[in-house]
């Protein structure tokens, strides 16, 4: 029997994502001037106020207020009427030095012997139902909000948009787990105040269905375009008026959108957040590494859907173990346990090895903090960072290295494919 599956996304202006972006902007600035920085930075945003807290071990000094305000302004909170804007909000920093009790288990005489920065389990997932090996419902949810943000910044075809928004997509699947059609799309977007609420709601619905969605569809591969139909149930701003939003409408916290950040509820999640953590924290680095493994396994033909789990003990170099679930989609006679054994030989999952393989000690994290950490485009960009004393550094950094298919040949060789 056919079934429905739903995933959601939130925009860069969602309060939790504002918090994530501030935390990751701090990470990038620390790593730009001291790549050995150890950072765990949490952010809280609410009406007119930002609170920074966390632990840092670094040789650099940052103007955290300026970084915070620049991040907020870049998102689009630049007007006093939003009750939260980068130029006027308060910024309180309670960041302090990292505990030596934690640090002693991570830093070792040899970098190769670096222990895991925490205990826990991390998951990576990949499926062949999209070109970027991501679950379709989440991929579409992200795309809708990326395009909505583009329309907001263009301020041409739709001129009333504010930064906060959410989306949700429901897909109908066949018994053999193949997407058949899009059943429903939900979009809630913050907007300027209107004199007439009924006219406002009608206009927003019309603009979303007739301007936003066609722009999203036009950028999709033809097989995915074919899933759109005239019977899609649209729920546009279903609660009605949405003028009060962002951190004024809801308090935002770092790490509260971990399912949006990963696979939209497909696969599994270990529970650890990513943003605000340097790569010695395996919550982040090992989640990227397991995505890298899963994507390369699917691309190599080991299975059409793969879940990878790895687990660690704090301060211990080697992982506790690697688990693989191919959901019965492996086309050759091999158990998931046998696949896991081969994977553990192909991919070095020691924390320092992950950092080196995926180039994680670079300022690459601001781009991850909205619209998902997985399924994004691997590219090289140039960034410039400036310290309070005026010293600046310009770096070429490679983004989303865990999305590379650079291990496909090694996987094929290991599995004799």
Instruction: Confirm or deny that 16 is annotated as ligand binding.
Output: yes
CATH code for position 153: 3.30.300.10
Instruction: Confirm or deny that 336 is annotated as ligand binding.
Output: no
* Nearest alpha-carbon partner for 172 in 236, 228, 212, 127: 228
Q: Which residues partner with 91 through β-bridges? A: 50
Instruction: Confirm or deny that 175 is annotated as ligand binding.
Output: no
Beta carbons within 8 Å of 250's beta carbon, 6+ residues apart: 15
What residue ranges of the chain have pLDDT lower than 70? 99-110
Long-range own/partner contacts, residues 149-154 (CB < 8 A, 24 or more apart):
149/11, 149/12, 149/13, 151/211, 151/212, 151/215, 152/76, 153/76
Instruction: Confirm or deny that 332 is annotated as ligand binding.
Output: no
Residue 78 belongs to a domain: no
Residue 105 belongs to a domain: no
* pLDDT value for 97: 84
Instruction: Confirm or deny that 164 is annotated as ligand binding.
Output: yes
Instruction: Confirm or deny that 34 is annotated as ligand binding.
Output: no
Residue ranges making up the domain that contains 325? 120-127+279-414
* Tens-digit pLDDT profile for residues 175-222: 999 999 999 999 999 999 988 888 899 999 999 999 999 999 999 999
Instruction: Confirm or deny that 241 is annotated as ligand binding.
Output: yes
Beta carbons within 8 Å of 343's beta carbon, 6+ residues apart: 293, 297, 308, 322, 324
What is the separation, in whole angstroms, between the first and last Cα of the chain? 34
* pLDDT value for 110: 65
* pLDDT value for 34: 96
The sign of the CA dihedral 61, 378, 359, 145 is: positive
- Residues 285 and 375 reside in one and the same domain: yes
CA distances from 412 to 132, 299, 308, 345, 409 (A): 19, 10, 17, 13, 5
Residue 397 belongs to a domain: yes
Residue 68 belongs to a domain: no
Residue 88 belongs to a domain: no
Pairing between strand 161-173 and 179-191?
A: antiparallel
Q: Give the chain's domain count.
A: 2
Task: Return phi, psi of residue 49, to 5°.
Answer: -150, 140
- Residues 294 and 406 reside in one and the same domain: yes
* pLDDT value for 104: 55
- Residues 239 and 289 reside in one and the same domain: no
- Residues 204 and 293 reside in one and the same domain: no
Residue 57 belongs to a domain: no
- Residues 286 and 404 reside in one and the same domain: yes
* pLDDT value for 290: 98
* pLDDT value for 113: 75
Pairing between strand 179-191 and 233-236?
A: parallel
- Residues 219 and 290 reside in one and the same domain: no
Please give the angle made by the CA atoms of 207, 210 and 215, to the nearest 5 degrees: 100
* pLDDT value for 195: 83
Instruction: Confirm or deny that 96 is annotated as ligand binding.
Output: no
Instruction: Confirm or deny that 176 is annotated as ligand binding.
Output: no
* pLDDT value for 31: 98
- Residues 364 and 320 reside in one and the same domain: yes
* pLDDT value for 197: 82
Instruction: Confirm or deny that 166 is annotated as ligand binding.
Output: yes
Instruction: Confirm or deny that 74 is annotated as ligand binding.
Output: no
């Amino acid at each position: 029997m056919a079934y429905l599956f739903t995933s959601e996304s939130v925009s860069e202006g969602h309060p939790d994502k504002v918090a994530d972006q501030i935390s990751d902007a701090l990470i990038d600035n620390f790593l730009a001037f001291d790549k050995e920085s150890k950072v765990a930075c949490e952010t809280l945003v609410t009406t007119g106020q930002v609170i920074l807290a966390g632990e840092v071990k670094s040789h650099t000094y940052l103007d955290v207020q300026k970084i915070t305000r620049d991040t907020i302004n870049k998102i689009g909170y630049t007007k006093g009427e939003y009750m939260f804007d980068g130029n006027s909000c308060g910024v309180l920093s309670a960041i302090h030095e990292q505990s030596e009790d934690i640090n002693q288990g991570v830093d070792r005489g040899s970098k190769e012997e670096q222990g895991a920065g925490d205990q826990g389990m991390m998951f990576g997932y990949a499926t062949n139902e999209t070109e970027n090996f991501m679950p379709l419902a989440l991929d579409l949810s992200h795309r809708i909000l990326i395009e909505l943000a583009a329309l907001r910044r263009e301020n041409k075809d739709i001129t009333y948009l504010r930064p906060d928004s959410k989306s949700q997509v429901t897909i109908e699947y066949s018994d053999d787990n193949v997407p058949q059609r899009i059943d429903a799309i939900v979009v809630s977007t913050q907007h300027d105040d209107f004199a007439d609420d009924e006219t406002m709601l009608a206009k927003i619905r019309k603009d979303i269905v007739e301007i936003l969605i066609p722009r999203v569809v036009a950028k999709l591969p033809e097989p995915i375009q074919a899933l759109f139909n005239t019977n899609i149930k649209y729920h546009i701003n279903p609660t009605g008026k949405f003028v009060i939003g962002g951190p004024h409408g809801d308090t935002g916290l770092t790490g509260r959108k971990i399912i949006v950040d990963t696979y939209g509820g497909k696969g599994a999640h270990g529970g650890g957040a990513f943003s605000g953590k340097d790569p010695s924290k395996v919550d982040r680095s090992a989640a990227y590494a397991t995505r890298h493994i899963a994507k390369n396994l699917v691309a190599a033909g080991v299975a059409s859907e793969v879940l990878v789990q790895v687990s660690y003990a704090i301060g211990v170099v080697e992982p506790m173990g690697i688990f693989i679930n191919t959901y019965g989609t492996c086309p050759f006679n091999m158990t998931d346990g046998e696949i896991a054994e081969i994977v553990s030989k192909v991919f070095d999952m020691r924390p320092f090895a992950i950092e080196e393989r995926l180039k994680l000690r670079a300022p690459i994290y601001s781009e991850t903090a909205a619209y998902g950490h997985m399924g994004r485009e691997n590219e090289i960009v140039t960034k410039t960072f400036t310290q309070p004393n005026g010293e600046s550094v310009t770096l070429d950094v490679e983004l989303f290295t865990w999305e590379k298919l650079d291990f496909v040949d090694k996987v094929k060789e290991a599995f004799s494919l």
